[in-house]
Each structure stands twice: as structure tokens, then as C-alpha cells.
Structure 1
Amino acid sequence: MTSGVLDEAIKKAAIAWISVGDGPAYALWCMPAESSLLVVSGPGEQFAPGLAESQRATVRLRGDHGGLIVATDAAVTRLTPGSDEWNELAPALAAKRLNAPGSADELVARWAETNCAVVRVTPVAESAVGAPELPTEAGAEPPRETPARVETRRPFRLHRVRKR
């Protein structure tokens, strides 16, 4: 696979399916930065179990048609608050964050205070798998168990509905 496809997929990425180890893949909001992706997770942010503590992850990126075009292994690096990399990238990530409470500076300060993880996910180009080698099966799984899922009652009907 050419690295051009991987570079273009990274540049256009707004969401990536990221999995850590043998865990399930989560759809995570991300921001492209050079040849990597920035992801924020933690209290008040998106749920990405194990990503902040991991050093490796698997990333799947979609194309313009909405389907999978690239799957690759990636190196995960957590940015440290106060470092040069944090001071450069965290404000840019905060500015792109939709529906954020407060300004970008307030958001960056909250991330540092609440120990949110801002990680850089850098794909390994040699492990990238492109269109011809991608799996042909859908990869869909049944919904995971969650306390948020509630059984609903059948809708009330005033009159009897006849079956045809």
C-alpha cells in the first residue's frame, strides 16, 4: 500500500476507529496533526479505555465514501501538560473541539487539572493495509451491554390494527 493513501486518510480524518490490544474498537473524534492524529479522552471527554496507558493501538480510517480504506498499527504517545508539544498542540485541539464549555484556554486548563489524556497516535506506515488486502466481511458486532440501554414498551394503539 502507498503511504500517500495513508497520509490523505490522516489529513481528512475527523473520526477514527481505534482499538487497544484485543479490545473493541471505539469511534473516537480526532484531529490530524502532521502525520499523526490527536485524541483527547478522560473525565468530561470521550471514552477511550486503555488508550492513555498503551504504547500501541490499531487504527482504522474511512474514506470519502464512508467505508474503511486503511487499517494500521500505531504508536501512542501521551502528551505531558506543560511540555512544548502540549503547549503547541493542546490549544489547537481545544479550538477544534465542538460544543466545548468555555474558551480553548479554559478547556486546555481543565484537561490538565482533571488529568484528561491528550495522546498522539502515529500510524506505522509499514503495517498499513489498504483496499485490496482489507477484510471483506462487515465486522459488525451486536451492541455491547450498557446500563444506558432501556427496554421500551410497545406503542399504545387506540384502535385495533388489522394484519393483512
Structure 2
Amino acid sequence: MTSELLDRALVEEATKKSGLVWVRGAGAPAARALWHVWHEGAACLVGDGPGEQPLPGLADGAEAEVTVRSKDKGGRLVSWTARVVELAPDSEGWAAAVAELKGKRLNAPDGEAMTARWARECRVLRLEPTGATLPLPEGSLAEAPVPTPATTRQAIPAGLPRLLVKKKRKRT
């Protein structure tokens, strides 16, 4: 009994303090980093709509595996199983979860209209802890990056450092 209470407290406190969790839904090949808020005993997520995070493998009634990282060091703190509950748009639970999520959503393209967009085009999910903590995963969980046409910056030209040094000398 004491162990269960300590596990529940660890899950809640770690998840509450971390702005990002790694979630692997049923049938998903790998865990995905998702932003969330902790609200009324569960991690709440919004996604699967235009401009929002994808939520692969997270279906209503399914189970998911959640790994919580430390906000300051980035290391894994705890892994736990969750029951996925999809909230119906404009229900009481949906409104409460969205009120919390709205405050944490960064760079929303539509500001105050985002809650109406979420109701029309997105899913709001609750990841409710089942009470079972899991052993932390061994090794790296890193996946290959998704293919993209974006490129990294090129190396600086060899003569650039000399040009910068000359400009500094002329100023003095």
C-alpha cells in the first residue's frame, strides 16, 4: 500500500513538473515527445489537428506507456502506464482540460480562437495513470530523424575569421 502511494506521488510530481513526456501508444513503433499539462490526476494532451502535435497510437480506451524526463537535467525519472481517455468536445471535462492546455500552448497561430479550432479539428486526451510504474528503459531510445528537405548551415568560409579580426583592429 505504501509503495503504491509513493509510486502515485512520484508519477504525479514528476509529470507535473515536466513540460514534456515521451509517450508510446499501442502499436506505435517508438515513443514520441509530447507537451502536456497535469490536470486533475492525469496528463492532458491536445493534438492530431493542423498545426498541433501528432498523437499516433493513442486511441480512446487503449493503454500507453509514458516516460517522464527531468526538466533540468533531461534524464528519465519514471515510466508509467496510462489509460487513454478521449474527451468529448465541449463537455465539462474537455472545457477544464482545455482551459489548462490553453495557458501552456506556445506560439498558437490563432490566439483566443484556438479552443474553437481544437473543438472542431483536434483531439483532447487524458492519460490517466493505472497505478503501475515500469522499470526505466535501458539504453538510448533515440530514433533516426524524420526525413526533411531542411539542411544544416554550411561551414564558415576559411577567410572569414581573418576578415573579422581586421574589423576589430580598425575599431581600436
Q: Decide whether the 8 Å contact of 1:59 with 1:123 is kept in 2.
A: no
Give unpaired runs (5+ residues) of structure 2.
161-172
Correspondence 1:146 to 2:147:
yes
Match of 2:126 in 1: 120
Residue 100 (structure 1) shift: 1.7
Give unpaired runs (5+ residues) of structure 1.
160-164
**Distance change (3 Å), C-alpha of 1:89 and 1:139:** closer
Correspondence 1:101 to 2:109:
yes
SS of aligned partner of 1:60: strand
1:58-88 Cα offsets, whole Å, 9 max, x none, are 1000135321011111101111112111122
Correspondence 1:47 to 2:19:
no
Indicate which of 2, 24, 36 corresponds to 1:30: 36
Correspondence 1:82 to 2:90:
yes
Task: Name the CA distance, whole Å, in 1 between partners of 2:16 and 2:96.
Answer: 18
Residue 120 (structure 1) shift: 0.4
Q: Provide the TM-score with structure 1 as the length reference.
A: 0.78
Residue 31 (structure 1) shift: 0.5
* 4+ residue segments displaced more than 4 Å: 149-159
Match of 1:162 in 2: none
Q: Decide whether the 8 Å contact of 2:44 with 2:126 is kept in 1.
A: yes
Correspondence 1:8 to 2:47:
no
Correspondence 1:18 to 2:26:
no
Indicate which of 58, 72, 95 corresponds to 2:80: 72
Identity, % of aligned positions: 34
Match of 2:139 in 1: 137
Aligned pairs, number: 152
Structure number with the higher helix fraction is 2
Residue 146 (structure 1) shift: 1.6
